[in-house]
Structure 1
């Protein structure tokens, strides 16, 4: 199963970095280039283990995912439960670790694994998918880094005043 990973250091605490990563609505759209729309499902108002999320990707692809872990401020994990015709499985985890010697900075590491279908096409599709997903995750984590410096986003999560 292919794995893609992207990482960056952001100039905020792990608590603030985690909070930025879990923003929704217009605040999320300020930094996340991957999504066009995203919302919690089944009446949930806050993320938690077991909560499902509906996401429309920027090109219109739709996906339902479920939080499989939710451990502020250190990590969050998800798995796709319904989505694209070409992913058999998709899962991801985001980790936030204070940078040693710099308590005001956090290392964010985002890792995804996936498998493609149909099986006969998977060897080729997964090589291509790894390149495309890596590019998307790199772009997304760069957006996250910008969000961690955006006064509006930071004010929303209580990390700084706008």
Structure 2
């Protein structure tokens, strides 16, 4: 039986080209980002509620859920504010008129599950490969949106950790 040094964290086998990311995050996962709980809106909620919620919570993205409480898309609040100020959005409009829908799972846009135990290097790879600035953090079955992780959250984590 081999003895394990308790001061040393075992490292998994690292794929070529990923050593830098693994070293950058040192085994941390999404849960370590300590994200605030997500605030989701139903697809039929009025724009006024979305703007108020985003302002109170200082969120730029709000996940939108269908009648079965499954994520179907998101509102990008800065764009929504501009449309509202320009008069092209009414307070009573349902958010469904202004959301960005998630692509359904397909070969060209596969759905990637990001959950609390997803390694941070995988989250960064997702941001790069999908060309997005945020990810919905869900449970494994995608039944609940738990939080929203952003590129800024990763940068803050690395700075905080030193």
- TM-score normalized by structure 2? 0.31
Larger gyration radius, structure 1 or structure 2: 2
- TM-score normalized by structure 1? 0.31
Q: Return the structure number with greater relative CO, CA threshold 8 A, min gap 6.
A: 1
